[in-house]
Each structure stands twice: as structure tokens, then as C-alpha cells.
Amino acid sequence: MSVEKTTPGNIDEKLSTIKYKPDEKSHLSVINQDKCKDCNKACTFFCPARVYEWDESQQTLIIKYENCLECGACRIGCINQNINWEYPNGGFGVIFKNS
């Protein structure tokens, strides 16, 4: 059995093939930005779509909700339960091939 080698390069290529229909309003939000300041920023690692990015100069968590794959990992992965996650409004969000 052959195992496909995954490198950051080809993850980016795969992510770039996914289609989205982003809503104007984010379906993701941080409940308390102050909690993020003292956190290990786990969300910037576990999110497969790199939705979360820590802005050191602004001391703010940036949320690129348009890239969300709707995997739900951030609902359980944030150690401070500091992410408010909902499905995007109907018709918006990620478009998977067979849906």
C-alpha cells in the first residue's frame, strides 16, 4: 500500500481547489479576545483551513471565516471554549464536490 506524502505545499494546493460561497457575515466569532492573549493559540494549529491567525502587533485573533471547511474541530479544540461556531446561513459556506 502506498501512502501519499503530505507536505505544507500540497496542502495549500488542495485547499485552493475547494470552492466557497462566503456570506457577508461571519459564522465564527471569538467570545472574549482577552482570553486569546494568554492562550497557546491552539486554534492556529488544529484548524485544517488556517482560519485562525494571531496578529501579534494588534494582540488580536483574526478569523478568516471565508475559508472554513465546517469540520467543527474548533468547537472542541479551543481549550477555553472561546469560539462561537455556527453553520453558515443556508446556501453559504464551503461547497463540497458531491453536495
Report the alpha-carbon angle 31-42-73, nearest 5. Answer: 75
* Non-local CB neighbours of 76 within 8 Å, separated by 6+ positions: none
How far apart are alpha carbons 76 and 59 in whole angstroms?
23
**Which residues in 13-72 contact ligand SF4 (CB under 6 A)?**
28, 30, 35-36, 39, 41-43, 47-49, 51-52, 61, 68-72
Q: Which of 23, 29, 66, 73 binds ligand SF4 (CB under 6 A)?
A: 73
Contact residues toward ligand SF4 (CB under 6 A) are: 28, 30, 35-36, 39, 41-43, 47-49, 51-52, 61, 68-74, 78-80, 82-83
